[in-house]
C-alpha cells in the first residue's frame, strides 16, 4: 500500500512539474514583408527601395506568465535605389537581422495580444550582379531599435497563428560609399504572419 501511495505522489508531482513547464517556450516561422520609406536628405541624395519579402525565425522563452524574452533571425531579399543629380545607382541587397527583445503578453480567451521592445543588428549585404549598378559599395551593419506589437490566435494548446507589425529605427545605409550618405535615420516597416509551436 505504501508503494502505491508513493507512486501516486510521484505521479502527481510529475504532473504538476510538467504542467509548470508546459508551453514556456515557443518557436515560430513567419513570412515577412520589408517596406523601407522614401528618404530625402540635406545632401542631394534621395533613397527609395523595393518591397522585400523573406522569412523570420523566432524563439521565445517565458520568464513569467506575461513576460518573455525573444531571439530572432530574419532574411529578406530586396534592393535600394539611390538618386542624385550626378548619378542614379541601384544596390541589390540581402538583409539579415539578428535581434533580441522583451515581449509582454496579454490574454483574452484564445486571443493573445503582445508588444515588444529590443535591439537589432541589421546586416545589409550587397549583391554584385546586374541589378547593382555601382561597384564601390560594401556590405554594412547598422544597429537599430526594434519595436512591435501583434496578436496570436490559439489554434490548440501547441499551435497558434501569429500576426505582427515590427519596426526598425536605424541609420540609412550608405554601403561604405560617402557619395551615398544621407545622414538620416528612418523607420523600416516589417509586417509578419506565421505559425508558432509551443513546447
Grid cell of 166 as nine digits: 515590427
Per-residue pLDDT, 146: 98
pLDDT band at 8 (very low <50, low <70, confident <90, very high): very low
Which residues are 68's β-sheet partners?
62, 103
At residue 2, the 3 state secondary structure works out as helix
Grid cell of 116 as nine digits: 515588444
Per-residue pLDDT, 22: 58
Question: What is the distance between the alpha carbons of residues 156 and 195, in angstroms, rounded to a whole number?
Answer: 12
65-107 pLDDT per residue, tens: 999 999 999 999 988 888 887 788 888 899 999 999 999 999 8
pTM above 0.75, yes or no: yes
Q: What is the CB neighbour count within 10 angstroms for residue 37?
A: 12
Per-residue pLDDT, 73: 98
DSSP labels for 11-58? Answer: HHHHHHHHHHHTTSEEEEEEEEEEBPPPEE-SSS-EEEE--EEEEEEE
Domain edges within the chain? 23-198
29-45 pLDDT per residue, tens: 999 999 999 998 888 89
Per-residue pLDDT, 199: 93
Question: What is the distance between the alpha carbons of residues 173 and 163, in angstroms, rounded to a whole number?
Answer: 28
CATH number 2.40.160.20 given to 23-198: yes
Amino acid at each position: 500500500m505504501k508503494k502505491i501511495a508513493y507512486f501516486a505522489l510521484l505521479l502527481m508531482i510529475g504532473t504538476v512539474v510538467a504542467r509548470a513547464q508546459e508551453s514556456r517556450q515557443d518557436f515560430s516561422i513567419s513570412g515577412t514583408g520589408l517596406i523601407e520609406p522614401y528618404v530625402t536628405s540635406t545632401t542631394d541624395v534621395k533613397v527609395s527601395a523595393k518591397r522585400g519579402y523573406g522569412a523570420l525565425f523566432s524563439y521565445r522563452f517565458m520568464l513569467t506568465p506575461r513576460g518573455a524574452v525573444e531571439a530572432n533571425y530574419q532574411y529578406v531579399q530586396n534592393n535600394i535605389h539611390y538618386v542624385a543629380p550626378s548619378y542614379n545607382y541601384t544596390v541589390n541587397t540581402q538583409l539579415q537581422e539578428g535581434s533580441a527583445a522583451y515581449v509582454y503578453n496579454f490574454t483574452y480567451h484564445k486571443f493573445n495580444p503582445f508588444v515588444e521592445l529590443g535591439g537589432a543588428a541589421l546586416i545589409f549585404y550587397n549583391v554584385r550582379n546586374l541589378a547593382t549598378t555601382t561597384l564601390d559599395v560594401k556590405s554594412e551593419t547598422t544597429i537599430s531599435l526594434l519595436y512591435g506589437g501583434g496578436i496570436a490566435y490559439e489554434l490548440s494548446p501547441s499551435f497558434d497563428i501569429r500576426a505582427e507589425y515590427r519596426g526598425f529605427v536605424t541609420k540609412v545605409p550608405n554601403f561604405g560609399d560617402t557619395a551615398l550618405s544621407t545622414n538620416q535615420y528612418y523607420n523600416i516597416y516589417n509586417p509578419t504572419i506565421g505559425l508558432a509551436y509551443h513546447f
